Amino acid sequence: MWLVPSVALLLAACTTSVGTPDPERPSPFADCAILAAASSSPPGSSDLPDVSLPCFTGGAQVRISDLRGPAVINLWGSWCGPCRQELPLMQELADATSGRLRVLGVDTRDDRDAGASFAADHGVTMPTLFDRDQELLSALGRASLPVTVFLDAQGKQFVYTGKALDKLTLGTLVRTHTGVTVTG
């Protein structure tokens, strides 16, 4: 159920990994091609920053300002405690709103292997971009994580920063700032 928190996910231990991606270990994330699916706003019509980042899976560049709403963009890092709490909730959101809301992760200021390992351990498969140099975080005028951007169908953004989102708060912010009601 959407409003029942998982204590096990909140108590996850830290993952530490350094190095380059392991070719033997596939990416846990979905390809980013789904981000280009039809919506009510044309590419480039959002007020999102004009930053391009590689898709974690496949490496294709995704221009953030071309993303269409309704959408939720969660900036996270495997090293960030509050991010580790809310990232599994973002995956639950993606699952609960499939076809009605785009949910995208941006692994920020992280090591690829650490991000992939954390995601795989927690069943996170939503499309994810990789931003080692925190370009998007900087372009949003923010300095620390977690950050979640809500984008409505007209391309207007709302940026949330602060403590880790819980299911109730996340559901309320999604409804208020994207127009999508979370069910399931």
CA distance 85 to 82: 5
171 falls in which pLDDT band (50, 70, 90)?
very high
Position 116 scores a pLDDT of 93
pLDDT band at 34 (very low <50, low <70, confident <90, very high): confident
Length of the chain in terms of residues written: 184
**Predicted pLDDT of residue 33:** 79
User: 3-class DSSP state for residue 102?
Assistant: strand
At 107 the three-state DSSP class reads: strand
Q: Which fold has domain 33-178?
A: Glutaredoxin (3.40.30)
User: Is residue 6 very low, low, confident or very high in pLDDT (cuts 50, 70, 90)?
Assistant: very low
Question: DSSP 3-state assignment of 116?
Answer: helix
Name the more confident of 56 and 31.
Answer: 56
Report pLDDT digits (tens) over 69-114.
999 999 999 999 999 999 999 999 999 998 899 999 999 999 999 9
**pLDDT-derived band at 124, boundaries 50, 70, 90:** very high
Q: Which of 73, 67, 75, 72 is nearest to 37 (CA)?
A: 67
**Phi first, then psi: what are they for 145, rounded to 5°?**
-100, 160
Per DSSP, 13 falls in state P
Q: Tokens representing 63?
A: 């221009």
